[in-house]
Amino acid sequence: MNDWLGLLISVLYVGLMLGLAELLRYQFSLSSRFTRKFIHISVGMMSWALPFIFTVPWYFVLACAGFAVFNWFDWRYGLIKSMKSSNEANLGTVYFPIMAAIVTVIFWAHPPLLVAALMPLTWGDGLAPVVGYHYGRHVYAFQANNRTWEGSTGFFFATLLFTWLALWVLPGTPDLTPADAFLPAFTIALSTTLVEAVSPWGIDNITITAVAITLLYVWF
């Protein structure tokens, strides 16, 4: 596929997800706590399509740079209500595309690793606050950051499932069986869950992805 077309598809997809999140917020009176994570997960899942819509990583890196700038303006001026964080100092939406660009450059030649490295950020970090908010009953704190055991459990299992699927299902190297993919997925899920538990809000977008990158790079 032409890379410029891939870039256009990426921008249109993100715009569509933002529009859908705004529609959900307006039509069903959903809080930004939910719509923010809807955007988080849906945009992160775009990583599964990257090897099929781009021939080189740099066009997607360009898109990520644009998204990071846009997200900074949104954080500064509150342009998209469905992306608003309850913590005004949280720059997680800015860090997200930066880390996605870094992962893409490092693992471009290995699609299973590229997608697997982003699954803790996409599903683990995306689902944990939602689970914790709705079902969290057991709170723990680290350096004044409160989390719940239920949220962390959701982080672990969501990360385990989607990291395992990425390592197993996606074509390219390494070519792993379901059994071969399980142990690295389990190690990444456990490690990123622990790191997320002790990372300040927002910074966890950087720390958990850095851990996933390091483990996958060393492992394979």
Distance of CA 132 to the CA centre of its chain: 17
pLDDT in tens, 185-207: 999 999 999 999 988 777 899 99
Largest CA distance in the chain: 50
pLDDT in tens, 32-73: 888 999 999 999 999 999 999 999 999 999 999 999 999 999
pLDDT in tens, 118-174: 999 999 999 988 888 888 788 887 776 788 899 999 999 999 999 999 999 999 999
Q: List the end-to-end C-alpha distance of the chain, in Å, as a whole number.
A: 28
State pTM to two decimals. 0.94
